[in-house]
Structures are given as structure tokens and as C-alpha cells.
Chain A
Amino acid sequence: MRSRRTPWLFLAPFAVLFLAFFVVPIGYAIWQSFIGVRRTGALGLGGSQTTFAGLRNYADALAQTAFVPSVLRILLFGVVVVPVMIIAATALALLLDAASARWPRFFRTAYFLPYGIPGVLASIIWTFLYLPGMSPILEVFGWFGIQAEPLAGDGVLWAIANITIWEFAGYNMLVVVAQLQAVPAELYDAARVDGANAWHMVWRIKFPLIRPAVVLTTVFTIIGTIQLFSEPIVLKRSAPAITNDYTPNISAYNQAFLYNNYGLAAAEAVLLALVAFVLSFGFLRLVGRGGRAGGAR
């Protein structure tokens, strides 16, 4: 018969691995971020010794490297990309759901397709599409006298933004579509009987119903944006503006593997996780309050 151990039996395999590959690494990163390496002897050749560094790695991360500018760059990126992404995904979902469009299944599939292409491959493909001479897009622009070099100069940040929107807008749209399809048809019929027109349907009925899906996709987009790594890494070879500290993740990666500065890399990773938590929970609180106010109206 079922004993008190049964649930733990089912939980244990996952729990052990979750502990080993989620909880322990986070603890290890926090510990590492407080550890420094001190070189001894002439020229530091006498060997090295690990010491407790206190908050020095954090101070270094905030002061000495280009880490803070990389965080600001990613925030600027997010301020543009997150709203564009969510508005595009929601608008496409509503248009597809409006039942006035032809071939909705084809369009939905076309928009969702890029999600199956890994970020690295998407970035490789877009690198070619950004190179004058190889790109069909720039060729068509050229017919109209528009000469663009997306990879030259600081504009490359928006070239990266375009890649991330291309990759994920369709996926986010599908999340919203799934929520829309879960709405019972009687609700629309009732609204129609009450004389609601198309705009009323969208604003008064569909919007409040898809709100949880929009909130969810926003949180995942925020977290994804903060982790920006593979797209700029791939574009780096062709875009001189992308430095070794271009995004916080690239910075942490280079501190660890280029400069062997694990303590500083760990401090940057911890700071990044904190930024991610503050922003996602801040957003959830913000919409939570907005939701209550909306409900009271």
C-alpha cells in the first residue's frame, strides 16, 4: 500500500538533479564571488593563494570593468525590444484571431517557424543578410537608393534587436493565441448580443482575458533579454562595435575564460541574476497592482 515515502520516491530523481545542477551552482557562484586569488613571490610566480575577498569582486565589477556600461546597454536594448516584441506578438495574435484574415494557419506557421532555429544559426543567417553584396534585403534597399550597413558602427545593437524579434515574436504570439483559443465562444456570442462591436470585443473582452499570457511572455522576454549572448557573439566577427564587454554575459564569459578571473565573473553573474529578479518581480508587482485597480473600475 502507499506509504509516506511514496511521494519522495517519485520526487527524488528530479530533486537530486535539481539540487546538483541548480541549487548548488547558485550557491557556488555566490561563494566564488567572495573569493579572490592573491599571487605571491616575485612577479606572482611563487604560486597563488585563494583568499576571502569580501565585496572586492563586486566593487571591481561595478568600478573597474566596462560591466556597468554593458548593463546599461542591455537595459536600453530591453526598453525597446520588450515592448516591440510584446506589442507585435499581441497584435499578430489578435489579427489572426479576428477571423477576418485568410489562411490563418499558414500565417501562424510562418511566424512560428523561426523559433525552431537556434539563436546561433539564426545569427549566422542574419550575418549574411546584413552583409552588403550577399544580402537580398540590402540589394532591394539599394534599388531605392538606400545604402545600409547594419553591422557598421553602433547601430549593430538594433541589428541584434531585429534578430531576437525575428526569433521569438512568433513564439510569443503562439502563447497569446493559445490563451485566446481557451476563451469560450459563448462569451463572444453574449457580447455580440449586447451590441459590442469589434473594438469593444478587443478592448473589453479579449484584452483582459489574454492578460496572463501577455504578462508571462513579458517576463520571459525580460529574462531572455538580460541573458543576451549568442547573437552578439556571432555578429562580433563582422561588427567592430561589439567589444569583449558588450553585454553582461559576454563580459562574465570573458572574465572567466579569457582572463581566468573567476571571482569577478561570478560576481558579475550574481549581479546579473539580481537584475533579472528585480526586473521580473518588479514587473509582476507593477501589473499585479494595475490588475487590481482595473478590477475595481
Chain B
Amino acid sequence: MNRTGPGWRILVTAILAIVAVYFLVPVYWLIIASTKTTDELLGTSPLWFTGDPHLWSNLSQVFSYNGHIYLRWVGNTILYSGVGALAATLLAAAAGYAMAKFEFRGREAVFNIVLGGVLVPATVLALPLYLMFSSAGLADTYWSVLLPSVVSPFGVYLCRIYCEASVPDDLLEAARVDGAGELRIFFTVVLRIISPALVTVFLFQLIGIWNNYFLPLVMLSDPNLYPLPLGLMSWMSITDRVPVLYQLTVGGSLVSVVPLAIAIVVLQRFWRTGLTAGSVKA
């Protein structure tokens, strides 16, 4: 059998297409379902649109329900994920640079402890963090979700190996001879060289925070502070009493999924792991 012939090619493509259907069906359903009212969700064929789509009225209800709380959840999500990931990236870059380009006592010990942090299950941290924040009077505040989110051990690891591979020592020395201060070298020279790694760290942390359900669930009880997943879950959990929330949960899910899914797809070339980051030069 010729493994590069047209028959083989059709077979491989057919397998890949079937797998693609599996991954895309839930998204397809979400788009169909978001055009339906709660009654239609339960009473019409789930495979196709109804003759009278309600997408816009659904979406406007999503945004206006309960005093526009959905908009607050959007803002909170951007704050937690965006600001959290940005701060995490900057901290990881500085720490990774320090470990890559300076010799100091205890460097490897510190690095190994940080690496161990990658393996600690996040949920193991959440319970003690809640007790600590609540004794400090900070539970149920923005800080309680934001502060733990700015620590990214994996980011430090990635920044270190990327700095080692792509920041030349000669360049740093030349900048020092020219009289540039250490902070200025870091912000103007190093950050620019390692920017591809920074994008990767930022995206990993963004998704990590956006995906972390346990921490906000444990920390927050005020719905005004919820990120989107927690908010939508709170709608989903009372659909028995308020049936209209079925359609709002579906519409709200569509609005939260689509922008990020598009961003993920557009930015997918930045999804590298620590293994390959060093081999891709800036």
C-alpha cells in the first residue's frame, strides 16, 4: 500500500474531519441555541434554527437582566484575567531574567522551589488562601482573586530558558559600559528581546485565570465581584425557579466564548511550551 497516494490522503482527511465534527458540535449547538427562547430550546429540534430567530432579543436580555450585571461580570473578567496576566508576566520576566543572567548564591535552589510550584494542584492552595484572606479581612474583594493570580511559576521557568537562549551577554555588557542602569537595561533591552516569550506567558496566565473556577468560587460571595464563569453558573443554578435563565445562560455563554475563542485561534502560534521556546529565536 502506498502511504502517500490519493487513497491514503482521503482516509487521513476523513478521519481528521470526523474528529473536527466532535470538537465543533458543541459550538455549533451553542450558536443554534442562542437564537431560541427557553420554550423553543425545550420544544424544537436542536439540530437547526427555528423560522423566527431571537438572537438579538436574547442578547439584549443577557446584557440588561438584573441591572446589567452581565456587563459587570465582563468587566470583572477583564480585570482578573487581563490585569492579573499582565502583572504575572512582568513579575515572571524580571525573575526569569535574574535567574538567567546573574550568578548568585542559592539561584538553583530558588529555581527548583519555583519549578516545584508548577506541580502544586491549584485547588490545594485555594482553601488555605481563603482562610488567610478572610483573617486579613480581604476575602470577598477584588484583591482576593487578583493577588494569587499574579504568581506564575511556569512563566518564570519559560522566561528563564528564553533569556538564556536569546539575550546575549555582550549586549548587556555593552549597555552597562554605555552607562545604562540595570532597570533601564531590563525595560528597554531585555523585555524587547524576550517579547515572544512574554506573549506566551501572558496567554498561558490569561487562560489559567479565566479557567480557574475554584479560587473565585471560594473567595467571592458578592455577585458584583463575580467573573463570567461564576456568574453564568449562578444563573444556571436557578433555572428551575426562573426558566428564562435557560436562554440567558446559553446567550451569555455564547457572548463569553466567542471573543476569546477567536483570540485563541488568531494567537495560536504563540502557544509554545517550555520545551520548544528556547529553539524559536526572536
Instruction: Write the residues of chain A forming the contact surface with B, with a CB cutoff of 8 angstroms.
Output: 1-2, 4, 6-11, 13-15, 17-18, 20-26, 28-29, 32, 92, 95-96, 98, 100-103, 106-122, 124-129, 133-137, 139-140, 166, 170-171, 174-175, 178-179, 181-182, 197-199, 212-213, 216, 219, 223, 226-227, 229-230, 233-234, 237, 249, 252-253, 256-257, 262, 265-266, 269-270, 272-273, 276-277, 280
Contact = CB atoms under 8 A, between A and B. Distances in A.
Contacts of B20: 106-107, 110-111
Residues of A contacting B: mostly? helix
Nearest to A102: B13
Contact of A21 (B147, B176, B261): B147
A171 B12 CA distance: 20
B120 A110 contact: no
B210 interface: yes
Interface string B13-25: 1011101101111
Given A124-B232, A249-B123, 19 more contacts: A15-B95, A17-B150, A25-B128, A32-B131, A96-B16, A101-B16, A113-B264, A116-B264, A118-B213, A128-B250, A136-B25, A136-B32, A178-B271, A178-B273, A198-B3, A199-B3, A212-B275, A213-B275, A256-B127
B119 interface: yes
A32 B131 CA distance: 10
A92 B275 CA distance: 19
A113 B261 contact: yes
A26 B214 contact: no
Contacts of A122: 26
Nearest to B148: A21
B125 A124 contact: no
Residues of B contacting A: mostly? helix
A198 B102 CA distance: 46
22 contacts: A2-B182, A4-B104, A6-B98, A6-B182, A7-B98, A7-B104, A11-B94, A25-B128, A26-B124, A28-B132, A101-B16, A102-B13, A116-B264, A121-B232, A124-B249, A125-B29, A139-B45, A179-B275, A216-B273, A234-B233, A252-B127, A256-B127
Contacts of B74: none
B199 to A, nearest CB: 14
Nearest to B117: A22
Interface string B232-276: 110011000000000001100100110011011100100111111
Nearest to A276: B121
B124 A272 contact: yes
B212 to A, nearest CB: 8
Contacts of A29: 124-125, 127-128
Contact of A10 (B27, B95, B128, B273): B95
Contacts of B182: 2, 6, 9-10
B218 interface: yes
B164 to A, nearest CB: 14
Interface of B: 3-4, 8-9, 12-13, 15-17, 19-20, 22-30, 32-33, 41-42, 45-47, 91-92, 94-95, 97-99, 102-104, 107, 110, 113-114, 117, 119-125, 127-132, 147-148, 150-151, 153, 156, 176, 182, 186, 207, 210-211, 213-214, 218, 228-230, 232-233, 236-237, 249-250, 253, 256-257, 260-261, 263-265, 268, 271-276, 279-280
Contacts of A125: 26, 29-30, 253
B30 A98 contact: no
